[in-house]
Amino acid sequence: MPDIVISEAMDLRAVESLKCDFEVVYDPDLVNRPSEIVALVDNALALIVRNQTQVNSSILEKARKLKALGRLGVGLDNIDLIACKSKGVEVFLATGANTTSVAELVIGAMIALVRKAFLLTEDVKLGKWPRLELGGREVMGLSLGFIGFGAISRAVASRAQCLGMDLYGTDPFVSYSDPIWVEYGVKPLSFVNLLKVSDVITIHVPLEKSTEYLIDQMAIESMKTGAVLINTSRGRIVSEIDMISALHSGKLSGAFLDVFENEPVIKGSRFDGVPNLILSPHIGAMTEQGNARVSKMVAENISNFLKEG
């Protein structure tokens, strides 16, 4: 039986490093076979997952010897922390390892949606010449609003400063007097005021009861007409139905989702035919470098913990 079970994609160098000291089962498709995960963790010391494997009581009750859980990322909505604590399972996150990857994705999505230059490739291939439809705007001089001002927001802010944008942020856990706002050139505002002044809004908060469907019809109505919405955080923070309605009406001029209410997105879903919408399959941390950093951090933490306690 394995010491460590890895149920989702992990950098192979980190996997090999674990195999030097432990019996390892690595199968990135295990996430789609939860009954096999349950069987494999029966005697395992550690389980390593990304964001799709549901680490809940059905797994933890069978994991008699489990001591450690590695999360290849930082989100916790697929992990039952209370059950882990009651079982004495230590949870290791890859805090900070994917910051650059997500920040660059946000900047790229923002420029693509504001400039509009990349939205009608198929028309150009067909011999159309949609120059007027792709006029777009410059990001310089626009206002960028951060919902949540943790490490990723700060990384985005440092890059957006170079683009000449006006920066605003809201975060109930960062006081208005905190010098971090000045350090990154961001003006703190209330949530309501941030919605009113921002041309682009990017979301960087965890999924909790207080943030579920934080961006709904009422929030969108408070935004500027023509605002752009970016969500690389968690899917249920944005009401997809309300966002789609706003894209059809023109209240939002564009949106980018890397995360969804239900993952993976089903073919023929609500997103068909929605204008000015860019979707990616939860890849915020999935750059070559980001995956290597995340995997190495988790592998080292799990290895050290199992060896030393």
Closest CA to 11 of 87, 98, 88: 98
* 4-97+288-308 and 99-279: identical CATH topology: yes
Q: What is the pLDDT of residues 126-171, one digit of tens each?
A: 999 999 888 899 999 999 999 999 999 999 999 999 999 999 999 9
Partners of 200 in the β-ladder: 144, 228
Weakest mean pLDDT among 57-61, 99-103, 171-175: 57-61
Q: Which two tokens stand for residue 306?
A: 């199992």
Q: Mean pLDDT throughout 171-192?
A: 98
Task: Give me the pLDDT at residue 157, please.
Answer: 98
In the CATH scheme, what is the code of domain 4-97+288-308? 3.40.50.720
Q: If you search the block for the tokens 């979707």, which residue do you land on?
A: 279
Mean pLDDT, residues 259-288 taken together: 92
Give me the helix-helix angle, 12-19 and 288-308, nearest 10°. 20
Q: Looking at the annotation, which residues are catalytic? A: 234, 263, 282
Q: What is the mean pLDDT of the chain?
A: 95
H/E element holding 90? strand 90-92
Q: Estimate to the nearest angstrom the gap between the alpha carbon of 136 and the chain centroid.
A: 26
Band of pLDDT at residue 267, cut at 50, 70 and 90: confident
**What are the structural domain ranges in the chain?**
4-97+288-308, 99-279
63: nearest Cα among 105, 3, 124: 3
pLDDT reading at 309 higher than 80:
no
Strands 24-26 and 46-49: unpaired
Confidence of residue 216 (pLDDT cuts 50, 70, 90): very high
**Residue 245 burial (CB count, 10 A):** 15
> What's the pLDDT at 2?
94
pTM, 2 dp: 0.90
- 3.30.70.520, 3.40.50.720, 3.40.220.10, 3.30.365.10: CATH of 99-279: 3.40.50.720
Alpha-carbon distance 102 to 106, whole Å? 6
